[in-house]
A and B are shown apart, each in its own frame.
Chain A
Amino acid sequence: MLTVLVFAPTAVAVLLLCLPARVPPGVPRAVWVAATAAELALAGAVWAGYDTKGGTGYEVRARWIPSAGVGYHLGVDGLSLPLLALTCVLFLACALYSLRESRRPRAYAALFLFLQTTCLGLFVSLDLILFFVFFDLSIVAMYFVIAGWGHRDAKRAALKFFLYTFVGSLALLLGFIGLYLAAVPHTFDMVELTRQNPLAGRSSYASLVLLAVVVGLAVKTPTVPFHTWLPPAHTEAPAAGSAILAGVLLKMGTYGFLRIAMPMLPGAWRRYALVLVVVGVVSVLHGALVALAQTDFKRMVAYTSVNHMGYIVLAVGAAAATADTSTQARSLAITGSVTQMVSHGLITGALFLLAGALYERGRTYDMGAYGGVAAPAPVFAALTGVAAFASLGLPGFSGFVAEFQIFTGALGPRPLATALAVLGILLTAALFLRALRRILMGPLRLPDAPGTARVFPDLRTHENAAVVPLLALTVLLGVAPRFLLDVIEPASRTVLEQLAR
């Protein structure tokens, strides 16, 4: 089941590439939408069939490179299932959004389908090398998306993205090899490594391995000071690419914290958790402050990602504090971090798609060039408003649920850090309200570059079809998050138990 879920998109991509070159451009786009819709249905079936009491479901185990301790081992649990579903939702949204993509639609669709395989594969991997393979392939695929379909300066941004995240991935690989060699017998199997906790009691070795793993994941997340690749990559990528990059790829880093670093290196994690708390708070505040200074709408959204991912880092760091805080609070922090991953994926995905719509109409992201857009494009204005309010964590949206959990969970163990991080919400509110005022209110003003139209048409059907479901899900999660939390909570309790060893 999981194997089909993971590899079906690539199979479709190969089929697409085998089609004769003369098929009308509508065909690949339609196939893409159909394939992602089928994937979403499949993910829904996996969710429906998963036993919410916890544990790993749908496990697949096969030999791959037994002599090197590498196996083909897949499975889902409460940590990966929400991300799996998020991935399918976002890819469907991107497929719908790209229904009008006219530049080489066949290759575009094939590339995104391949990217979907790597993302899904990463979230269900239970083997470190399998995880790494998908991690690296996602970088390769995203590089081609940015370099091939991005804006003017895309080549440079794509290269920076590739080099930066590739450095991270190699640090990660070194960490994995460190874990592999410590285990007896040598293995890359995550379940086995988690069970063994091979580095317990070897503090300097464990610290080095943790350093390698955390640096690798922090680059991907990204946290300050490893975030500099993010703004150019986001700004230059096509809208759908940005949505996937922010919505799914960034989650690989934080997912890795919960899946690999905490359960496999519990001692070292506890020892250095304070560093992560500090990094998290700095990311929150720095991301928000820099976002506040932006005049480019897309860049601003990109920096808010640094801010939002910072909350997650804060939560996973705070969860390790042992100083007589209740397990319940720390479990809340972990649950909140997973919820935040899902919520951020949905909201940022929507925001980037809306930014893409803005660019398509005005050919610039500069907020100063627009004004009073709400009059000609009420739907666009309404959706942007909803997305912005969701992003700043207003009650009723998923972001509120997530951030509330994170702050409640982290306040006990790390009161000062949490108090500082709450300021981030204030800053985000300020910057989003300012952006909304600039673009949507006041007298109508449109960019006056040669070749731009003097009208601002409202969102088209395919754009609505992509954005509205994402925002609807945000509201649903904000109003009735129980179905999601039921899945996450057992898993976060498990992570805490593993961390306490």
Chain B
Amino acid sequence: MNDMNADPQALLPEVLLAASAVAGLLLGAWLPRGRQWLVGLLAAAAACAGIVSASVAAAGPERTAFGEAFTVDPVTGTARAVVLGGLLLVLALFAGPFHRHARESETYVLLQLSCLGVLVMAGAQDLLLLAAGYLLASIPAYTLAGFRKDGPGTEAALKYYVVGALLGVLMLAGITLLYASGRATGYPPLGIALPEAPRALVAVGALGLLAGMMFKAGAVPAHFWVPDVIQGSTSPVSAFLSTLPKVGALAALLRLGEAVLTDDAVPWAPLVAVIASASMTLGNLGAFFQTEAKRLLAYSTVSQAGYLLMPVVVAGRSELARPALLFYLAAYAVTNLGAFAVVCALPRATALADYRGLARRRPLLAASLVVCLLGLVGTPPTAVFVGKLESFAAAFDGGYAWLAVLAAVNTVASLFYYLRWIVPALSRGGDAALTDGERGARCLAHGAAAASLALGLAAGPVLAVLTVSPAA
């Protein structure tokens, strides 16, 4: 260990994102309203450059920066690719509705800062850095949630903020307790110290830490904000909030499960398994009879958080856990953003019944919707299918067969409510509410659906990349 190896090069994608956020803030103050889209363009350029530099870094050896606080390994690499790629999609979703908006440039800046926080969470190897990432990811997101200054928007922002602040405080308390019991905040020393520490202290600390992570992942029992925030925010914001923060939280949980909170210290696997099963089950139950498209998607992301937690349960127990989680994250991000892109493309259709006749009026959009929704179910050959397959296999392998069975049962149940959306979209009738809408979002929906299929079919090489490096 070399002390304080600042090494900003290892953090190039993050640095680029931060720099373009700051530059965007300054630029936004100068540019006339009609030209503020330039800030978005800058953000997109930064994201592209970030992806390039992340793939260069991923090709190199694993390294750490800032002492051992931040690590650049396949988990970070994948999280960077997914988050920055997702950011590009989200930026494109924002471009239409926010064009000439009073706070256009601020939106882009907040998005970037939040993504930066997510990336910090994903790469953190230190509890304090994790907490910093949590705050950076959350606070801009609270603001974004409240952008629509109407009743539901305000409620969304307030609810998001209150729940986030409460669970954030719990998380900080948990970190304090873990620090007290392990006398360190870095993962490697904690991993050595915690098994020796008083178990009750470690358990309470772990619970507090989990509270924050569950909030970001949108998992039960910290899921109360999800439906209201997703429904109350503008559609592009919902797309962002329901997808990208999950990546940071789950990557962080994976690391914690592998290196810190191993079964020697706390009953980590059973704990996460219970959370996972509760998330998938309650999310599905909540989604069953929703009539609003966004609310349905909100509950669906709660259940997806449950599936995504499956590999976390067996982190460190099964070699399949890591590639399973990373692949599933990428697959989920593409598919879920695709589904939200359909919602964004039809701003006037809010209820499921409004989608009646979509297949006739917009056959391609209907096809994209079907691909994305069946993708979320996990129908082959979409990407989520491969993700689920790997996760099931990982759960079996790690001795959690019951969790895989439960997930399979839940998958079947989830089919029911996705079909409640697909059926009207494919039936005849409907009104003209479906014909107008965002052209850009429509193209994105097609693109995301195609990408979800392509990622599923080309899962081989992608998984190979994710599996090369030995699991920690």
- A interface residues with partner B (beta carbon < 8 Å): 63-68, 70, 129, 132-133, 136-137, 140, 144, 147-148, 155, 159, 162-163, 166-167, 170-171, 173-174, 177-178, 180-181, 186
Contacts and interface: CB of A to CB of B under 8 A. Distances in A.
Given A63-B460, A65-B386, A67-B464, A136 B379 contact: yes
Nearest to A144: B426
Which of A132, A136, A144 has the most B CB atoms < 10 Å from its CB? A136
A297 to B, nearest CB: 28
Interface of B: 323, 374, 379-381, 385-386, 389-390, 392-393, 396-397, 404-405, 408-409, 411-412, 415-416, 419, 423, 426-427, 459-460, 463-464, 466-467
B392 A177 contact: yes
B416 A140 contact: no
B396 A177 contact: yes
B404 A177 contact: yes
Contact of A174 (B323, B404, B466): B404
The listed residue with most A CB atoms (<10 A of its CB), out of B386, B393, B404, is: B393
Q: Which 7 A-B pairs have the closest CB atoms?
A: A133-B380, A65-B460, A170-B408, A67-B463, A67-B467, A65-B459, A167-B412
Contacts of B423: 147, 155, 159
A140 B385 CA distance: 14
Most buried by A among B323, B408, B411, B464: B408
Contacts of A63: 460
Contacts of A181: 393, 396-397
Given A68-B463, A133-B380, A174 B408 contact: yes
A68 B408 CA distance: 19
Nearest to B395: A177
Contacts of B404: 174, 177
B408 A67 contact: no
Contacts, number: 76
A63 B459 CA distance: 11
Contacts of A136: 379-380
Chain A facing B: main interface SS: helix
Contacts of B409: 170
A327 B463 CA distance: 46
Contacts of B419: 159, 162
A334 to B, nearest CB: 30
A175 B365 CA distance: 35
A170 B410 CA distance: 10
Contact of A147 (B374, B380, B408, B426): B426
B295 to A, nearest CB: 21
A159 B412 CA distance: 12
Contact of B405 (A66, A68, A144, A174): A174
Contacts of B412: 163, 166-167, 170
B460 A137 contact: no
Given A163-B416, A177-B392, 13 more contacts: A67-B466, A67-B467, A70-B460, A129-B380, A132-B380, A140-B374, A144-B426, A147-B423, A148-B426, A155-B423, A162-B419, A170-B409, A177-B396
Contacts of A159: 416, 419, 423
7 contacts: A64-B460, A67-B467, A129-B380, A170-B412, A177-B393, A177-B396, A181-B397
A186 B394 CA distance: 12
Nearest to B367: A17
Count chain B CB atoms within 10 A of each CB in A67, A174, A181 and give the residue with the most: A67
A402 B222 CA distance: 60
A185 to B, nearest CB: 12
Contact of B381 (A133, A173, A177, A178): A133
B200 to A, nearest CB: 36
Given A68-B386, A133-B381, A162 B415 contact: yes
B220 to A, nearest CB: 22
Highest count of chain B CB atoms <10 Å: which of A140, A167, A170: A170
Given A68-B386, A68-B459, A173 B392 contact: yes
A344 to B, nearest CB: 27
A400 to B, nearest CB: 39
Which of B386, B419, B464: most chain A Cβ within 10 A? B419
B460 A66 contact: yes
A173 B419 CA distance: 21
Contact of B392 (A140, A144, A167, A174): A174
A65 B409 CA distance: 25
B134 to A, nearest CB: 32
Nearest to B410: A170
B421 to A, nearest CB: 13
Contacts of A67: 323, 460, 463-464, 466-467
A410 B467 CA distance: 49
A132 B380 CA distance: 8
A116 to B, nearest CB: 17
B464 A66 contact: yes
A114 to B, nearest CB: 12
Contacts of B379: 136-137, 140
B393 A166 contact: no
Nearest to A143: B419
B389 A129 contact: yes
A110 to B, nearest CB: 11
Contacts of A180: 393
Nearest to B415: A166
A343 B415 CA distance: 34
Nearest to B465: A67
Which of A66, A159, A177 counts the most chain B CB atoms within 10 A?
A177
Contacts of B415: 162-163, 166
Contact of A171 (B381, B389, B408, B460): B408
Contacts of B463: 65, 67-68
Contacts of A178: 396
Nearest to B390: A68
Contacts of B380: 129, 132-133, 136-137
Nearest to A137: B380
Contacts of B467: 67
A153 to B, nearest CB: 14
B64 to A, nearest CB: 26
Nearest to A171: B408
Nearest to B411: A170
A64 B408 CA distance: 24
B235 to A, nearest CB: 27
Nearest to B466: A67
A144 B359 CA distance: 12
Contacts of A170: 408-409, 411-412
Contacts of A163: 412, 415-416
A174 B405 CA distance: 7
A222 B398 CA distance: 33
A136 B389 CA distance: 14
A64 B411 CA distance: 25
A173 B378 CA distance: 12
Contacts of A66: 460, 464
Nearest to B468: A67
A67 B404 CA distance: 20
Contacts of A173: 389, 392, 408
Centre residue among B323, B381, B389, B427 by max chain A CB count within 10 A = B389
B317 to A, nearest CB: 13
Contacts of A129: 380, 389
Given A66-B460, A68-B459, A166-B412, A177 B389 contact: yes
Nearest to A182: B396
Contacts of A70: 460
Nearest to A72: B460
Nearest to B420: A159
A137 B385 CA distance: 12
A165 to B, nearest CB: 10
B341 to A, nearest CB: 21
A171 B407 CA distance: 11
Contacts of A132: 380
B278 to A, nearest CB: 20
Contacts of A133: 380-381, 385
Contacts of A144: 426
